[in-house]
């Protein structure tokens, strides 16, 4: 049986979660289960795609969300853990920080996936869209590649659909490296796999942005060259 990489991101909407420095999560499974796409990384074949987690405390207790893995060396546990919310450049923890260049590349990957309509600004994807699993696998492949992993999209163990959509996502003629996903962070825990996390702005901040937009205009991150 092939190993499975465990991933998640938090899409907190309640102000209590948004302002927290940590979040309690439990891994519940890979979207698509055994039908999720395969990806060859180095000498190992992994499942790659959207991972589903559940809040286990706070005002979103019991609610679920999905995201992408940013650490190949660890696994998430179904028993749950408390994760610290950190800047993506400071992940993993413990470990040598990725730095801003890698963080920007990962942000560009998910922002381009959002521009394609595969996921939204909270990293969530409509499971009813065509080739959902292959698209999520392609995003995960590009994230792992940004981390320096030996991703082999052309390998015979890599799913053909993943390979196709990876090519769509990373096409040099359309990929915009300047795009960034707003409020993208990481969640980290020792002995657990680190994951992407989107921190929403509190309601007061949204009101402030509205005022700024009325006065001077607010630039969008979804720009194309």
Distance, CA of 14 to CA of 175 (rounded, Å): 33
**Tens-of-pLDDT digits for all 225 residues of the chain?**
333 333 333 333 333 333 449 999 988 889 999 999 999 999 999 999 998 989 999 999 999 999 899 998 888 778 889 989 999 999 998 899 999 999 999 999 999 999 999 999 999 999 999 999 999 999 999 999 999 999 999 999 999 999 999 999 999 999 999 999 999 999 998 888 899 999 866 544 334 434 433 333 333 233 333
User: What is the per-residue pLDDT for 30?
Assistant: 92
**Which domain does 95 fall in, by range?**
3-215
Distance, CA of 29 to CA of 32 (rounded, Å): 9
Q: How far is CA 74 from the centre of its chain?
A: 16
User: What is the per-residue pLDDT for 224?
Assistant: 35
108 lies in some domain: yes
60, 12 Cβ separation under 8 angstroms: yes
220 lies in some domain: no
Tokens of 33: 């289960």
Residue 166 has what DSSP assignment? H
140 lies in some domain: yes
Torsions phi, psi of 130, nearest 5? -65, 135
15 lies in some domain: yes
Torsions phi, psi of 100, nearest 5? -70, -35
Q: Nearest Cα to 187, choosing from 141, 123, 111, 108?
A: 123
86: three-class secondary structure by DSSP = strand
- As beta bridge partners, residue 36 has none
Which regions of 42-80 does DSSP assign to beta strands (E)? 44-48, 51-55, 64-67
169 lies in some domain: yes
135 lies in some domain: yes
Q: What is the number of structural domains in the chain?
A: 1
133 lies in some domain: yes
103 lies in some domain: yes
38, 157 Cβ separation under 8 angstroms: yes
């Amino acid at each position: 049986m092939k190993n499975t990489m465990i991933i998640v991101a938090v899409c907190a909407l309640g102000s209590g979660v948004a302002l927290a420095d940590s979040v309690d999560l439990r891994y519940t499974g890979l979207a698509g289960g055994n039908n999720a796409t395969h990806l060859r990384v180095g000498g190992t074949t992994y499942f790659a795609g959207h991972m589903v987690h559940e809040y286990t405390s706070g005002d979103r207790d019991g609610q679920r969300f999905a995201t992408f893995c940013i650490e190949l060396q660890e696994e998430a546990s179904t028993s749950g853990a408390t994760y610290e919310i950190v800047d993506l450049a400071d992940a993993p923890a413990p470990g040598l920080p990725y730095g801003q260049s890698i963080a920007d590349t990962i942000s560009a990957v998910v922002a381009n996936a959002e521009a394609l309509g595969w996921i939204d600004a909270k990293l969530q994807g409509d499971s009813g869209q065509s080739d959902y699993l292959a698209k999520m696998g392609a995003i995960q492949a590009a994230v792992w590649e940004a981390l320096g992993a030996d991703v082999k999209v052309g390998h015979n163990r890599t799913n053909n659909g993943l390979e196709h959509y990876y090519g769509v996502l990373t096409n040099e003629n359309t990929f915009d490296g300047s795009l960034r996903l707003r409020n993208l962070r990481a969640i980290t825990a020792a002995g657990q796999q680190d994951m992407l996390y989107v921190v929403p702005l509190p309601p007061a901040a949204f009101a402030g942005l509205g005022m700024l937009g009325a006065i001077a205009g607010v630039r969008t991150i979804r720009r194309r060259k």
